[in-house]
Amino acid sequence: MLRPVAVILGIVIAAVGGVIAYRAFFLEPSAAVVISSEGVRELPDTFRVVGGIVLLIVGAAIAFTAALRRSRK
């Protein structure tokens, strides 16, 4: 009973983390703008990108470990 819930929860956490990382890296407004003599460069919100990737990895690990079959002795 607990295994399917853990798999689904892990998949949901991984999906949310992937969406947060993608939006922070590609879609959301930049967190900083660097102006130099070479031009203007925008930097993504690094904390949101890293946080999203961490959620993605943790959720995938939860789903993977819950989905593994364990041999009982």
Q: Each residue of 21-56: pLDDT tens digit? A: 999 888 877 778 888 888 888 878 888 999 999 999
- 58 within a domain of the structure (yes/no): yes
Helix (H) or strand (E) holding 43: strand 39-43
Number of domains composing the chain? 1
Residue closest to 14 by CA, chosen among 67, 53, 50:
53
- 28 within a domain of the structure (yes/no): yes
- 18 within a domain of the structure (yes/no): yes
Give the domain extent around 10: 2-67
Determine the residue type at 46: T
- 72 within a domain of the structure (yes/no): no
- 8 within a domain of the structure (yes/no): yes
- 57 within a domain of the structure (yes/no): yes
Q: Which residue has the higher pLDDT, 27 or 18?
A: 18
Cα 29 to Cα 22: distance, rounded to the nearest angstrom: 12
**With 0-12 CB in 10 A as exposed, 13-18 as middle and 19+ as buried, what is 14?**
buried
- 73 within a domain of the structure (yes/no): no
Give backbone dihedrals phi and psi of 28, rounded to 5 degrees, phi first.
Answer: -70, 160
- 63 within a domain of the structure (yes/no): yes
